[in-house]
Structure 1
Amino acid sequence: MTDTNTIGLHEASASQLAEKLNHLLANYQIFYMNVRGYHWNVKGPQFFELHTKFEEFYTDLLAKVDEVAERILTLGHKPVHAYSDYVTLSRIAEDKDVHDGEACVRGVLEGYQTLIELQREILALASDADDEGTAAQVGDYIREQEKTVWMLGAYLG
């Protein structure tokens, strides 16, 4: 009997990674809904610019939700899919009734910073487990989101 899964990773490592990826999935889902809300509710002189930018962000976040869930399945585990689980597992809190443009941008900035922090934790675990697939996925996310964090910081001055 082997202790590896179908893609050749040790089951204990795959299980630990899947658990962390489920936490990441929860954060992506809550963050996605926050950004969706910013898109719907933003007001002020930067409305047109921010409304369009928030749509770009939430479209990308939704794609990543699916990719993270599929990675959990690839590891041989089950992605959480109940919103109540997302609220419990997420470090990102629901952001309700926000409409000020600057406050919305700050919410996006903080959300990406949280995702980067979580993804770095997963990157370290994936590297220790020789899980190149997960490491490459979150590494790509980190690179992309670090640039977004820089740009959002520059926008806020």
Structure 2
Amino acid sequence: MTDTNAIGLNAGSASQLADKLNTLLANYQIFYMNVRGYHWNVKGQQFFELHTKFEEYYTDLLTKVDEVAERILTLGFQPVHAYSDYVTLSSIEEAKNVHDGEACVRGIVKGYQTLIELQRELLSVASDADDEGTASLASDYIREQEKTVWMLNAYLG
């Protein structure tokens, strides 16, 4: 009997990766809802600009939610899918009643910073497990989100 999963990864490593991916998934789900709320509730002089930008961000986040969940399935595990699990697993907290544009942008920066940190940890574990698929996913997300953080910080001045 082999100690590898269907895609040839060590079963123990795959389990560890799935756990990290489920934590990442939970953070993506909470962050997605935060950004969606910012989109709905932002007010002020930058409304049109921020409303449009936030929609771009939450649309991208929703795509990533699906990709992370499908990666967990590819590893042979089940993605968490209850909101109560997301709240428990996520280090990103729910944002409530935020409507000031600058506060929304700061919340997005903080959320991306958390995702980047989690993805760097995931990248390290994936590299150690010779899991190119997960490593590539994390690496691509990090590259995109680092640029987004830079641009948002430039916006904030």
TM-score normalised according to structure 1 size: 1.00
Corresponding position: 1:53 with 2:53: yes
Which runs of structure 1 show a deviation greater than 6 angstroms over 4 or more consecutive aligned residues? none
**Residue of structure 1 equivalent to 2:3:** 3
Deviation at 1:54? 0.1
List aligned pairs for 1:78-89, cutoff 5 A: 78-89=78-89
Q: Secondary structure at the match of 1:81?
A: coil
**Residue of structure 2 equivalent to 1:42:** 42
Deviation at 1:39? 0.1
Corresponding position: 1:138 with 2:138: yes
**Residue of structure 1 equivalent to 2:151:** 151
**Hey, what's the Cα distance between the residues in 2 that align with 1:88 and 1:78?**
17
**Residue of structure 1 equivalent to 2:21:** 21
RMSD: 0.2
Corresponding position: 1:100 with 2:100: yes
**Hey, what's the Cα distance between the residues in 2 that align with 1:6 and 1:84?**
30
Deviation at 1:61? 0.1
Letter paired with 2:30 = I
Identity among equivalent positions (%) equals 83
TM-score normalised according to structure 2 size: 1.00
**Residue of structure 2 equivalent to 1:62:** 62
Query: What stretches of structure 1 of length at least 5 have no aligned partner?
Result: none
Query: What stretches of structure 2 of length at least 5 have no aligned partner?
Result: none
